[in-house]
Structure 1
Amino acid sequence: MCLALTAATAASAHGFGQRYDLPLPLPLYLFGAAAAVALSFVMFGLFARRDRATRRTRHIDLFATGPGAAIARSGLVRSLALAIRLAALGGFTVTIVAGFVGDQNPYRNIAPTLVWIIFWVGLVHASALLGNIWDLLNPWRTLFAGAERLYQLAVGGELARRLPYPPALGVWPACLLLLAFAWIELVYPSPAVPAHVALIVTAYTILTLAGMFVFGREAWLQRGEVFSIVFGTFARFAPIRATAGAPPKCMLRPFGAGLHDDAPVSTSMMALVLLLLSSVLYDGLIATPAWSGTEAMLAGDPVTIRTAGLVGFWLLFVGAYLAACAAAAALLGGGQSALRFGRGFALTLVPIAIGYHVAHYLVFLLIQGQYIVPLLSDPFGYGWDLFGTAAYRVDIAIVGARFAWYAALAAIVIGHVAAVYLAHARAMRILPGTRLAMRSQVPLTALMVVYTFIGLSITAEPIVTQRDSAPPAAVAGAIPVPADAVLPEPGDGRLRPVGAEKVAAAKMTYRVLGSLFHDGSRMTIADLLYAYMFAYRWGVRRPGDEAHYDPAIDAATAVLRRALAGVRAVGSDTTARTFRVGDISFVRELLIVDVYLTAAAPDDPDYNAVLAPPWSTLPWHLVVLMEEAVSRGWAAFSQAEAQRRDVDWLDLVRLEPLKRKLLALVEAFERAAYRPDALQSLVSADAARQRWSALAAFYRDHGHFLVTNGPYQLTRWSADSATLGAFRDMTYPLGVGTYDAYAIPRHGHVTRADWDGRRVTLSGDIEIVEKFQRSYRLVRMPLPSIAPVVRSRAAPSCRYTVVDDQGRVVLAGVAPLAEDATFRIEVGGRLSGGRYTMLAVIAVNGNVTNPEIRRIPISVAADR
């Protein structure tokens, strides 16, 4: 039934692993944050004094007196600045060289990490919180200054032509370059490939040096060099402003003081600030299900769609800002244009851009930024260990999902409140009268409230955190089955004690981390045990009762019924995995179940673990509802039985008449607090009533009864497609990367087979996933060349089958990877003399879909 429901040609889903669900509903955060922004506007209007808002902020020169003055006079500052410039130039050179000649795996090459993480993300944070350190680090400034010095010594005169920079250009060159940079980051299919990074940096270097040559170094840095303008704009919010000179100065000032500018900025600068805002939010937008749905609906080239989206999102922000400014200008009267008003308040948006940047990239910086530690020792991926840090492994648990959410929430709210204050202070400076200043800020504050809603809504898209799974513990041998262990009655499903003196071949202890079902019901022991009952009730034919038997269920559960000797619910643990956020505790119940098996593979615990696991993807009340539908002749579980009985194939989504009958049944079961006789001792009447009530509420909200406990739930469907949405549940047991093996299946390839008469030795390649930000690629690599830790995670194994000359299978098994990264299959003594063919496959993470099969002829000598 579930396979039929998901047999669609198109689907939309988002997110892997466990979702961090918010301690309170998202709307409360949205309205609370928006209220904080609006309330700050009221508070500043009522209590901010005009003389304080219009007063020049005090700046303190740390190099003016005391130890600071002594340091400035000593020349230490200049020497340190020169050393930093040369180090930055060295890092810049290494970036280009590594990109062109180093390993092209982004995680083994320093170029992508330096450019996309340390440079773009890290320097934005440092500029906003410290000061304009880019002015010191800028390698293009250092390069051109060095070239000017050499030219002056060798030829004399100036290297730059110093043509007049057209005032009409403003900072439009930098604005367009920022748009191109955002396009490379967000749209270009492979921005993290080291060679591409090096090529982009080289091209930008040529462009920048050419601009300096034509217009002069400082002229181009102030108008055309995009990163000087971007980092300088963020640095205007910082508390430190350093200037070179004789002597140098280091001014300490309040946060945001550098954004108090009496003169309006240019139109191009206003556009650049709005591009900074829109590009960060667009980065989050394209990762949402809504955007994926839009791309699927448009069914065009993703690069074209995302390019149009990037430009369109920027223009949307410009239009919304100018509309708010037009409303403000209209409230002021006097014929002031919206554009002039917008230029006057453009810099007050910078704290919002900083807040969005911190919200979106802080966790990325803290986790991905750790890659710089091993890469400093091995920048080219050649296996070096220059500083002894090459073995460092990134700690993805350094920050959690809660930190990510609250940091993002705080950054966005603080950024908007700071922007409200700066805009209010700006209005007080340029407009006569407090009331007029307040009136002018109403439209801008409303716009900021909208920004808050949008920013938090996008930020609330899947935040994930790692959870460890608990593998089953196995004991093998002749094991007595406890007398209180239970086994379902064949054909009836009632749980019966197995009785005394029963023996099993193996005992598996499962620690099942329970989670919520989609209707909000919490998994219990009853859900686990009822899955066994269902297998025995509908998988065993009873004479004279064909209505409660389905051959498809019989076939699907035959292995389980043959292997199961007994089940014993040991208990539950609600303390080990429970955690707390603020005043709210999130209970994660660990259900402990012993499963006894009649037969076991002593050398393959994984095989034993999947014979009869205590797990249910469906809650017991939904299974009961489906049973009732089949028992009453409304539908059948399998397609074959539906055709044989001439009824509908059970469909909880698309059969409207059936759903109406099921809803009436659910409502009747709720009134009666119904639960099957087999569950009377496991489920109370109140618990049963709550289950039926939750199922009815789920149906009214979603229009179907397909309730599971997986990470996705059905949200929309049509005749030929289904849309899946992420199910947000903090108690979901699986962690980050759980489904990567399915999303990006990898294959192995046998490259060499050696037969020495007793043993087959296989060599091979496997595919490795190289991921960086949103892009990935599969790279085929020989097993010996792969780092042991990476090989271990890939878990390669060789699955083989040996057939004789009549095509009969005579030997089969799985060979693990040996220490020398080969597979050794011992055949001597296991086969009689003759000719055979071995079929071998290398599986990566257990994936054997569409395998590459190697046929190896074997000739075994007859024993003498």
Structure 2
Amino acid sequence: MLQVSSVSRGLILFTACCSIGASEAKAHAFAAPYTLPVPFWLYAYGSIAALLLSFLILAFFSSPRIPQQGESVAVALVVTHKKGLTLHSKVEATLRCLSFASITICIVSGLIGSPNPMLNFNMTWFWILFLLVLVYLASVIGDFYPVVSPWSLPLSFIQKISKGRRTEYLNYPKKLGYFPSVGMYFVLVALELFGNGSPATLSFFLAAYLAWMLFGSLLFGPAIWLEYADTFRLMFKLIGMLAPVEWIHEASRWQIRLRWPLAGLMKRTLMPFSLTFFILFMISSTAFDGIHDTLLWNSGYWRSVSPVLMSAVGSGSSDIDAVAADIYYGWQWLCLLLSPFVYLVAYAFVLGIGKFIVGSPRSAGQLLSDFALSLVPIAFFYHVTHYFSVALSQAPQIYRLISDPFGWGWNLFGTAQGALRPFMIDASVVWHLQVVMVLVGHVLAVYIAHGQSFHSFRSRSKALISQIPMMTLMMGLTASGLWILSLPMNSG
């Protein structure tokens, strides 16, 4: 299947992960089963040991001084005004036009083009280039999404034609926060995991998303609605915080500045709970995507869960297989919906233990907010770990598809017959890269949390002690993340 989920990650108990010391595991990220060269438990214990070592190094040898948000050096890329406009504004306008044109082609190609996902432009452009390649690029060059947002052009047009016809927008409910983005993110993940994988379905989703953006902007204003309800903007914003580059919009021009890597994650302002929940959902959805099609998950369901659910529903239907299938998919939807709550409970639990140990006066809500951004590296590297091989193998197909976006046999730019060869990596290399990336994500998370703990607890000793429960969670997530990757896929 061409499309890949843009987001998900999982929580499996640490004890369960460490007890799976089997002599081999067949990693599910490969087309053919790959037998690990050494027992899985060696990878798990080795990664946990490396993570623990990084924590000890930070605890005993690092200074609590960490680069803060805003510590940046301007790059000489600021342009001057000419005739009331800036060069940068023209570039921004051009990029937005191209972005809107691409999303328009995506919608149209899915509706009238070939139903074959491999021949239709919209599947590769959206699932591979937009949700994988561009998101990964944001971790390097920063959050450039506001410059190239495909929704900005139609929203600015609507704003211009409605100017003067209304005096004010509705007040956006503060308690709602980023929950509109959370809800649309759930729809996005569900579309990837449970959708029929057709270009037409994707087109309907993109058209509905555009309508969602327009409707909310008319009610609350484009700026507010794009900030809180645009799922893609929030994803790029969070991932862009990892980058050593920041984009600042000042006086109708974009300024690009260099900063310390990870400095964007060192925010000291209280963040809404909805943002914390979104980050946890990014992690849990990737984990669920990784485990929901494995042999362990499916066999466990049909052996243990299905009999209970079927007995509760009853067997009065003449088509018992159809009923069983409906219950199975309902179960999958429910597990996806509940997955972020599992992470939330674990996250709140370890923070609560740390609060109790050091006797911190900070509330539970404040602590959830304080350390939320430390989870972003985990969310990002989980995502890359699961999907980077798909991006490498599928992204080159865009070279062919730009000449024949509808799959009608066109050759607009002379590239339709010259598709680039997919970039394939040996299974052994992929697995070991996955191990490294999972570990790097958690090491960076430990680093961010370490720096935040000095701000939250105002004492070096309390900060270090408070991080012991969080460190335990990080070790469990590291082992569980690798374990999920090692599980064999369901062949049925």
- Alignment TM-score, normalising by the size of structure 2: 0.85
Q: Which of 36, 47, 59 matches 1:22?
A: 36
Query: Which amino acid letter does the alignment assign opposite residue 36 of structure 1?
Result: A
Answering whether residue 272 of structure 2 is matched by residue 280 of structure 1, we say no
Q: Given the superposition, is the C-alpha separation of residues 55 and 146 from structure 1 closer, same or farther in structure 2, using an over 3 Å criterion?
A: closer
Q: CA–CA distance in 2 between the matches of 1:253 and 1:16?
A: 37
Alignment match of 2:239 (pick from 229, 234, 242): 234
AA of the residue aligned to 1:39: L
Counterpart of 1:58 in structure 2 is 71
Which residue pairs with 2:220 in the alignment? 215
Change (3 A) 1:23 1:416: same
Q: How does 1:109-148 map to 2 (within 5 A)?
A: 109-148=120-159
Task: Give the alignment partner of residue 230 of structure 2, picking from 203, 222, 225.
Answer: 225
Match of 2:90 in 1: 79
* Mapped pair 1:422 → 2:448: yes
Alignment partners' CA distance in 2, 1:313 and 1:349? 16
C-alpha displacement at 1:334, in angstroms?
A: 3.9
1:398 aligns with 2:424: yes
Asked whether the 8 Å contact 2:193–2:289 carries over to 1, the reply is yes
Is residue 339 from structure 1 mapped to residue 384 from structure 2 by the alignment?
Answer: no
Q: Which position in structure 2 is the counterpart of 1:271?
A: 277
Q: 1:212 to 1:397 in 2, by over 3 A?
A: closer
Q: State the partner residue of 1:366.
A: 392
CA contact (8 A) 2:139 2:239 kept: yes
Q: Deviations over 1:769-824 (max 9, x none)?
A: xxxxxxxxxxxxxxxxxxxxxxxxxxxxxxxxxxxxxxxxxxxxxxxxxxxxxxxx
| Residue 73 of structure 1: how far off its partner (Å) | 5.0
Alpha-carbon offset, residue 387 of structure 1: 1.3
- Give yes or no for contact 1:148–1:159 (8 Å, CA) kept in 2: no
Percent of paired sites with the same residue? 29
Whichever of the two has the greater Rg, that structure is: 1
Q: State the shift of 1:160 in Å.
A: 8.4
Give the match for residue 175 of structure 1: 182
Counterpart of 2:482 (choices 438, 451, 456) is 456
Q: Deviations over 1:206-243 (max 9, x none)?
A: 11111111000110111111111121111111111112
Structure with the greater relative contact order (CA < 8 A, sep ≥ 6): 1 or 2?
2
- Report the alpha carbon displacement of residue 144 of structure 1 after superposing the two structures with TM: 0.6
Distance 1:389 1:264 in 2: 50
CA distance in 2, matches of 1:186, 1:85: 30
Q: Which residue does 1:33 correspond to in 2? A: 47
Q: Superposed, which structure 2 residues align to 1:653-732 within 5 Å?
A: none
The alignment status of 1:164 with 2:171, answered yes or no, reads yes
* Preserved CA contact (<8 Å) 2:296 2:487: no
Contact map agreement 2:30 2:427 (CA 8 A) in 1: no
What's the CA shift for 1:21? 2.5
Comparing 223-232 with 245-254, greater Cα deviation is found at: 245-254
> Are 1:351 and 2:377 an aligned pair?
yes
- Structure 1 residues 366, 397: CA separation in 2 closer, same or farther (over 3 Å shift)? closer
Indicate how the Cα distance of structure 1 residues 284 and 61 shifts in structure 2: closer, same or farther if over 3 A, else same: same
User: Is the Cα contact below 8 Å between 1:132 and 1:242 reproduced in 2?
Assistant: yes
Q: How many Å separate the matches in 1 of 2:167 and 2:119? A: 39
Instruction: Decide whether the 8 Å contact of 1:377 with 1:388 is kept in 2.
Output: yes
Query: Could you give the per-residue CA deviations for residues 82-124 of structure 1, whole angstroms, max 9, x where no partner exists?
Result: 1111100100110111011111111111111122111112222
1:525-536 correspondence to structure 2 within 5 Å: none
Residues 67 and 266, structure 2, Cα contact 8 Å, conserved in 1: no
State how far apart, in whole Å, the 2-side matches of 1:230 and 1:16 are.
27
Could you say if the C-alpha distance between residues 163 and 244 of structure 1 is closer, same or farther in structure 2, counting changes exceeding 3 Å?
A: same
Work out whether 1:199 is the aligned partner of 2:204. Answer: yes
Mapping 1:478-517, distance limit 5 Å: none
Which residue of structure 2 lines up, in the alignment, with residue 722 of structure 1? none
**Residues 720-799 of structure 1 aligned to structure 2 (within 5 Å):** none
Instruction: Give the Cα–Cα distance (whole angstroms) in 2 for the partners of residues 72 and 26 of structure 1.
Output: 57
Aligned residue for 2:316? Answer: none
State the distance in 1 between where 2:388 and 2:437 align: 10
Q: How far does the alpha carbon of each residue in 1:586-620 deviate from its partner, in whole angstroms, 9 at most, with x for none?
A: xxxxxxxxxxxxxxxxxxxxxxxxxxxxxxxxxxx
CA gap 1:248/1:140 in 2 versus in 1, 3 angstroms: closer
When the two chains are superposed, the root-mean-square deviation of aligned CA atoms in Å is 2.3
More strand by share: 1
Distance 2:165 2:240 in 1: 31
8 Å CA contact 1:170, 1:268 repeated in 2: yes
Question: How many Å separate the matches in 2 of 1:401 and 1:72?
Answer: 50
| Gap change, CA 1:226 and 1:370, over 3 Å in 2 | same
1:198 shift after superposition: 0.7
> Residue 424 and residue 14 in structure 1: after superposition, are their counterparts in 2 closer, same or farther (change >3 A)?
closer
Whole-Å Cα distance in 1 between the matches of residues 272 and 363 of structure 2? 14
Q: Which amino acid in 2 is paired with 1:410?
A: V
Equivalent position of 2:60 in the other structure: 46
Distance apart, 1:335 and its partner CA:
4.7
Unpaired runs of 5+ residues, structure 2, are: 1-26, 307-323
Residue type of the partner of 2:39?
P
Give how far 1:342 is off.
Answer: 1.4
Question: Counterpart of 1:105 in 2: which secondary structure?
Answer: coil
Counterpart CA distance in 2 for 1:195 and 1:280 is 24
For residues 104 and 48 of structure 2, the distance between their equivalents in structure 1, rounded to whole angstroms, comes to 46
